[in-house]
Amino acid sequence: MSDKIIFISIGDKRYPSLLREIPDPPKSLYVRGDVSLLGNEIRRIGVVGTRKVTEYGKDVTRRLTRDLVKAGYSIVSGMASGVDTVAHQTAIENNGVTIAVLGAGIDVIYPTPNQNLYWNIIKKYGCVISEFPPGKITSKVQFASRNRIISGISQGVVVTEGGEFSGSLITASCALDQGREVFAVPGPITSKFSKGPAFLLKNGAKMVTGISDILEELPPLTSGVK
């Protein structure tokens, strides 16, 4: 695949139809990698969670991501440390495809240890996208903003682990606003990183203990989400 930066406006036929339908779609996207993965015929699901992932969080993220890849889904996440990185890497290890949505310019690799992951995604295993122009450095506001894109291009979002103030809860909130399915994995009640999923479950998220809990709830693949 080419590492060329591709600019896609909201009126471009390559712009994801699902994303165009959200309340506040980005006016344009920058893409590196296989832009066809943004097409209407591609099944996509977000897998997100805490940056401070525990061994339990790593295990459930790997298991669910592996099974989602086997079920034909592209894995969408934010390339942050922790759950995001585990999700992207697991998709790659299982010969799946993955889409990284950045909270910085398309050419700004953050965190720095994810240099190899970034290029692996672009060169062979998927694509990297951003609404921010090349060279734009990261900020908290931009990370929050990109979360709506993670959910916006996905049929649903799975939160595998996160604290009560985890950014993954913002992604889940965006998903609800966009009419997407929200899934949460229950965790040990002794862990502070189970509080995020517990909150979501108390507020109507679908409980996930295995891949079947996700697949039975996802809508049919169409150009839009009902």
Contacts of 9 (CB under 8 A, 6+ apart): 15, 27, 28
Per-residue model confidence as pLDDT tens digits over 113-153: 999 999 999 998 899 999 999 999 988 788 889 999 999 99
Could you tell me the pLDDT band of residue 214, with boundaries at 50, 70 and 90? Answer: very high
The answer to the question of residue 168 being in a domain is: yes
Per-residue model confidence as pLDDT tens digits over 143-163: 889 999 999 999 999 999 999
The answer to the question of residue 38 being in a domain is: yes
| Three-state secondary-structure class, residue 111 | coil
Helix (H) or strand (E) holding 44: strand 44-49
* Average pLDDT for 100-122: 96
Q: For the chain, how many structural domains are there in total?
A: 1
The answer to the question of residue 211 being in a domain is: yes
The answer to the question of residue 223 being in a domain is: no
Is a pLDDT exceeding 70 seen at residue 222?
A: no
The answer to the question of residue 180 being in a domain is: yes
DSSP tag of 220: P
Per-residue model confidence as pLDDT tens digits over 171-213: 999 999 999 999 999 999 999 999 999 999 999 999 999 999 9
- Cα separation, 200 vs 185, in Å, equals 9
Cβ 152 vs Cβ 162: under 8 Å: no
- Cα separation, 177 vs 57, in Å, equals 26
- Cα separation, 151 vs 193, in Å, equals 21
The answer to the question of residue 157 being in a domain is: yes
**Residue 86 maps to which CATH number?**
3.40.50.450
Domain that holds residue 129: 6-216
Per-residue model confidence as pLDDT tens digits over 15-68: 999 999 999 999 999 999 999 999 988 999 999 999 999 999 999 999 999 999
Residue 111, preceding bond cis, omega within 30 degrees? yes
Predicted model pTM: 0.93
The answer to the question of residue 144 being in a domain is: yes
